[in-house]
Structure 1
Amino acid sequence: NVIAMSGQLELFKECIKKIKGAVGEERAATIISKAIYIVCTGSNDISNTYFSTPFRRPHYDINGYAEFNARYANQFLQDLYGLGARRIGLLGLPPIGCVPSQRTIGGGKNRDCYEAENQLAIAYNAKLSGVIDSLKAVDTLPDTKFIFLDIYYPLLSLIQNPAKYGFEVATKGCCGTGLIEASVFCNPTSIPLSCPDASKYVFWDGYHPSEKAYKILVPIIINKHLNEFF
């Protein structure tokens, strides 16, 4: 299971203690402040909570749920700042409705993109971008770089134009049937059904991009945003 954001902060505190024990307080403060932190939150809240369970939708429309999650992201970033982080990137959501598993679940018989999930991802990204803008304007958070990192449109470009990037398949994953499997469901029993060459696929499984896709996406993000951290 994904570790809760509060749990991740506790793990970060433990990490800080270990750094201080290894190099001392002053050097540790420098290491912590000069490190780059990338925060990614929200994908599971959309695909596994809002659309897959009945608990949130009666209380929140798409915009309201985006706002609800953005508030938690805002607090998490401020908590990171309180622990010494000064270079923080907030990764936006991908086009979740276009990953293979969500096409299978909500895309109909043609397995089109599940547009309701994409609409929520876009709304959430707009809220996250607003969070970054508001934090940049806060005088009580000096000497800090808050950067919003867009992944939605770079990944969407791979999905919509696979041949342009050297892919053959963008609507199915390589693992197993490619329709739904993800995480622990990609295991030795999936091998007989899996594709022989994952480099031809935008997605490794029903949810996560392939290694080749990441090798394309990461430089796009780094080249666009790296200088903003310094």
Structure 2
Amino acid sequence: MGFFIVFAMIFMQIYTMRSAKVPAVIVFGDSSVDAGNNNHLQTVLKSNHRPYGRDFFGGKATGRFSNGRVPTDFISESFGLRPFVPAYFDTSYNMSDFATGVCFASAGTGYDNATSDVLSVIPLWKEVEYYKEYQKKLRSYLGEQKANTVLSEAVYLISMGTNDFLENYYTLSDRRSQYNINQYQDFLGNIAGSLIKELYSLGARKISLGGLPPMGCLPLERTTSFIAGNGDTCNEDYNKVALSFNGKLGGLVKRLNGELSGSKIVFSNPYAIFQNIVRKPSAYGFETAAVACCSTGLFEMGYMCDQYNPFTCSDANKYVFWDSFHPSEKTNRIISEHLFKTVLSKLLS
């Protein structure tokens, strides 16, 4: 990374910290928000190689499943903090960095512990354990009183759930033998509620619970639909499940706001804006939503999306999706800015 890029990033960090509207952003979730924690795991689900990160600061492949930034990076910037949230396991950062933002997310995880087992990634309960460890380090770094203020005023972002359905329930038989789809949604919803309650007991007061996107429209699912002879279309059954689960999460948020005194919990639902982009990509400046930028754009992600593939597009801004499972940086920006204006900004009042 060049001197001027490093200098610009340091200047940007100092400026944004002075104008910050909240003291920190703390992230839990899956590959939609993983900033590179999976780099340090024995798992095949990694993206710490080109062309991932080619549009990130300095063109660095950080482990984010994107050509650039992920939603929580844009949200951090919108709150007046630095324009990216560092991964907790990234040794190039320390507590002075993590004091204003930290990411515990792990690609491939979900609410269900069985989901994280599929690709040997960090289960949700372990993300919370790392957060507890972080709390101790923060108190040691800032002092008890200042750290407690940061922890109570910080915004907590939760983004997961897609893997529970696509990589677990619909792929493996164990959960399908235990639950019908409605029961499994309730099972996951109960875990989401327990997570929020635990974070609340640990001092969190401003929490955003993320919803599911139209997961049946991911290029991987469209490819699967095409192979099954259904044409190049979204899997509407999966989309209906996403809508149903989002409805349950919305109800959970409403209930918890009434139960947890002094809390401000919001439901950040990306479904509608994401669906609009997928249905009318040209209205948002995209050329296609059917295939992704990386490789053939039909089924590749992670290690199958590498710098040696000759099919990868030259301009990711023309594509709604970066790889077969993850949005491009441009899509992440549009969705994040929409959610900030319509939902997340309420955490400032």
Q: What is the TM-score with the length of structure 2 in the denominator?
A: 0.63
Q: Aligned partners of 1:41, 1:215: CA distance in 2, in Å?
A: 18
Q: Single out whichever of 93-102 and 57-66 deviates more from structure 2.
A: 57-66
Q: 1:57 aligns with which of 138, 162, 176?
A: 176
Q: 2:157 aligns with which of 27, 34, 38?
A: 38
Q: What is the TM-score with the length of structure 1 in the denominator?
A: 0.95
Q: 1:16 aligns with which of 135, 155, 161?
A: 135
Partner in structure 1 of residue 250 of structure 2: 129
AA aligned opposite 1:75: S
Q: 2:241 aligns with which of 109, 120, 124?
A: 120
- Does residue 195 in structure 1 map to residue 313 in structure 2? yes
1:100·1:206 contact (CA, 8 Å) conserved in 2?
yes
Comparing both structures, which one devotes a greater share of its residues to helix?
1
Q: 2:148 aligns with which of 22, 29, 39?
A: 29
Question: For 2:300, what is the secondary structure of its paired residue?
Answer: coil
Partner in structure 2 of residue 212 of structure 1: 330
Q: Aligned partners of 1:62, 1:45: CA distance in 2, in Å?
A: 11
CA offset digits 1:178-199 (Å, max 9, x no partner): 0011123212233x11112111
Q: Aligned partners of 2:126, 2:304: CA distance in 1, in Å?
A: 25
Partner in structure 1 of residue 344 of structure 2: 226
* Runs of at least 5 residues in structure 1 that lack an aligned partner in the other structure: none
| Aligned residues with identical type, % of pairs | 37
Q: 1:183 aligns with which of 276, 291, 302?
A: 302
Q: Aligned partners of 1:7, 1:106: CA distance in 2, in Å?
A: 35
Q: Aligned partners of 2:292, 2:343: CA distance in 1, in Å?
A: 29
Shift of 1:53: 1.3
Partner in structure 2 of residue 71 of structure 1: 190
2:268·2:344 contact (CA, 8 Å) conserved in 1?
no
Shift of 1:39: 0.5
Q: Aligned partners of 1:222, 1:202: CA distance in 2, in Å?
A: 20
AA aligned opposite 1:135: L
Question: For 1:58, what is the secondary structure of its paired residue?
Answer: helix
Q: What is the RMSD of the two structures over their aligned residues, measured on CA atoms?
A: 1.2
Against the structure 1 CA distance between its residues 106 and 62, is the aligned structure 2 distance closer, same or farther, given a 3 Å change threshold? farther
Q: Aligned partners of 1:70, 1:99: CA distance in 2, in Å?
A: 23
